[in-house]
Chain A
Amino acid sequence: MTMTIRALMGACAFGAFAAVAGAETITVATVNNGDMIRMQGMMDAFNAKYPDIQVEWVTLEENVLRQRVTTDISTKGGAFDVMTIGMYETPIWGANGWLVPLNDLSADYDAGDILPAMAGGLSHDGTLYAAPFYGESSMIMYRTDLMEKAGLEMPEAPTWTFIREAAAAMTDRANDINGICLRGKAGWGEGGAFITAMSNSFGARWFDMDWNAQFDTQPWKDTLEFFVGMMSESGPAGYATNGFNENLSLFQQGKCGMWIDATVAASFVTNPNDSTVADKVGFALAPDNGLGKRSNWLWAWALAIPAGTQKEAAAKTFIEWATSKEYIELVAEKEGWANVPPGARTSLYENPNYMEVPFAKMTLDSILSADPNNSTVEPSPYVGVQFAAIPEFAGIASEVSQEFSAVYAGQQTVDEALAKAQAITNDAMEAAGYR
């Protein structure tokens, strides 16, 4: 007994000693998005300020990252000290007690400055479990030159009918220009996210108040038929396998008239180094159908600390730095205001320098018009715009979106896909004990 205690005390003393003298190394799992890659290039600034903390990066593609961090946290593996997760995982993991609460961040950090929509989506029962690195909604990015050529003018807040007409008018197959590029790729975070957000504006919802799947309702049929109709008129070939990256690439090559996707894409399509159409891009709110809901989503990539890590203090220090106002200013200074991580802090949108960036206002307006607690026309029991924040959703929505992608590829009809989606969802919800 005494032996154990003495050993433990020794270990504690050693631990304390290590924290003071030796540099502590934390492992950060992150997604390979542009803003995260940029942060890895800024680590000199972090190390200058905190020489005791070394950061090791594990950068993975989104799907692999999800698979890795979910396995690790659900087994309490402890392979990572900081995880990059989204608005879907945070409330669920927080509720399970898997994440360290972030309600004791320093006064300098100014947690009250986090955009309320973001803080709300990254909390469970009012406790913040992940700090947003950047936040996004979705909006329309369109080619001003092609719009002009088509003799049309983009309203600030267009309807789906207008978008479909404009897409048809801008399409010029001979010159390889597709009126509209949208996500069709299978996966709940890819095509699944888009079609769910779009369905909100058509009056559809995933579940009714008793958790019954709603794919047998008219609004879902309308959504899919409209989407498939519009994409076959004006979409690119093979859109059933296009996700965010594929569409970004197409838009940058000048092959899309319009693209409705994440607001963070705005800085990529207006960056003259990567984009051939950088100076011809306009922005508008995601379309609606006159039912009171727009088709834009809400998402944040946020940094969280898995419960049980030995290096909680160092991890917290890192998260505070990475999501701080100071970091934003650092990026602005080095790479320009257009490249700072957007959508996380209110103060950024009060900064006159940032508001000069062409897409700043539209990003903020889009974020403000998405409400995760009230995302559907008819009432729904779930939180989330392009997802439902329940543990079963990722699995169900992956399968459902595979059925939808098969429609986009012309392998089954809308009705067949909806019937399968209905069955898949109800089966899974029954198995999970909701119904």
Chain B
Amino acid sequence: MARATTPRRKSINTALAWAVGLLIFFPILWTILTSFKIEAQAINDPPLFLFFDWTLENYAVVQERSDYMRYLWNSIIIAGGSTLLGLIVAVPAAWSMAFVPSKRTKDILMWMLSTKMLPAVGVLYPIYLLFIKLGLLDSRIGLVIVLMLINLPIIVWMLYTYFREIPGEILEAARMDGATLKEEILYVLTPMAVPGIASTVLLNIILAWNEAFWTLNLTAAKAAPLTAFIASYSSPEGLFYAKLSAASTMAIAPILILGWFSQKQLVRGLTFGAVK
């Protein structure tokens, strides 16, 4: 990097970026802080930032009212399962699109994306009837399938852009050396594709985790994930800011932590190959 940076300029950048970053993060920070307050202090005027009576009471109340672990477990299975299933279907498709492209490849990709435009509310009734017929109502497997289908276009597209970055010559070289298709995929392609697949997985877990229409409408007691957990807190009675905050924090914490730890992969994952 040849560009000279004066310490002054770096300080200004730092101050500005931190200010903006904190501003954007503030709603989340405020929710987390509020979850440790007692209800009366949650609405204190002026608002209390750090100097209040820290308490875990809200978490205890929320846990007592609803079995958090069960919702969490369902969320993990549904988000993880749909992503895994999506990968199994999407990897071959993306592979063939990237390495054996045809005139129609781009059209197929666009068509896949366009299936995401079906308005969920409009098809609730048909899908609900279908789920009853297939006995999938309130089952994790049903949700895994639906979320897989919803996110499949994104998975295919992302994988496709990664695979395209892999130089074709390497594959040809491997083929010349007599590698079979299986070996080609296993020993040459996979190692190179791992970072791309990792970021695809991450993005899809996030999208599946946050999906709140189907997960709410197709479940009852058994398969309900964290989105349903939140729906029972969205307007409780009386003073509720602190309890709402605690429930919200519990719902977003796992995915927030996962996201933070994998920030680097995610940054890559979200590019859709836009960089090159």
Contacts and interface: CB of A to CB of B under 8 A. Distances in A.
Given A248-B237, A268-B238, A68 B217 contact: yes
A67 B220 CA distance: 12
A89 interface: no
Contacts of A310: none
Contact of A79 (B64, B125, B129, B137): B137
Contacts, number: 84
Interface in A31-63: 32-34, 37, 40-41, 56-62
Contacts of A37: 65
Interface in B115-142: 124-125, 128-129, 131-132, 137-138
Contact of B237 (A34, A57, A68, A77): A34
Interface in A3-47: 27, 29, 32-34, 37, 40-41
Contact of B138 (A60, A75, A79, A252): A79
Interface in A234-252: 243-245, 248-249, 252
A253 B41 CA distance: 11
Nearest to A61: B234
A253 B222 contact: no
Interface range, A side = 35 or more
A267 B207 CA distance: 42
Given A40-B65, A77-B132, A78-B137, A61 B237 contact: no
A206 interface: no
Nearest to B229: A59
Is chain B's interface secondary structure helix, strand, loop, or mixed overall? loop
A32 B217 contact: no
B80 to A, nearest CB: 23
B228 interface: yes
Contact of A56 (B137, B222, B240): B222
Interface residues of B, number: 31
A64 B237 CA distance: 16
B220 A245 contact: no
Contacts of A34: 237
B235 interface: yes
A253 B237 contact: no
Contacts of A62: 235
Interface string B203-247: 000000000000011001110100010011111111110000000
A76 B234 contact: no
A27 B238 contact: no
Interface of A: 27, 29, 32-34, 37, 40-41, 56-62, 64, 67-68, 71-72, 75-80, 243-245, 248-249, 252-253, 268, 274-276
Given A27-B221, A58-B228, 11 more contacts: A32-B232, A59-B232, A68-B220, A72-B128, A75-B125, A76-B132, A77-B137, A79-B137, A244-B237, A249-B240, A253-B239
Interface of B: 39-40, 43, 64-66, 124-125, 128-129, 131-132, 137-138, 216-217, 220-222, 224, 228, 231-240
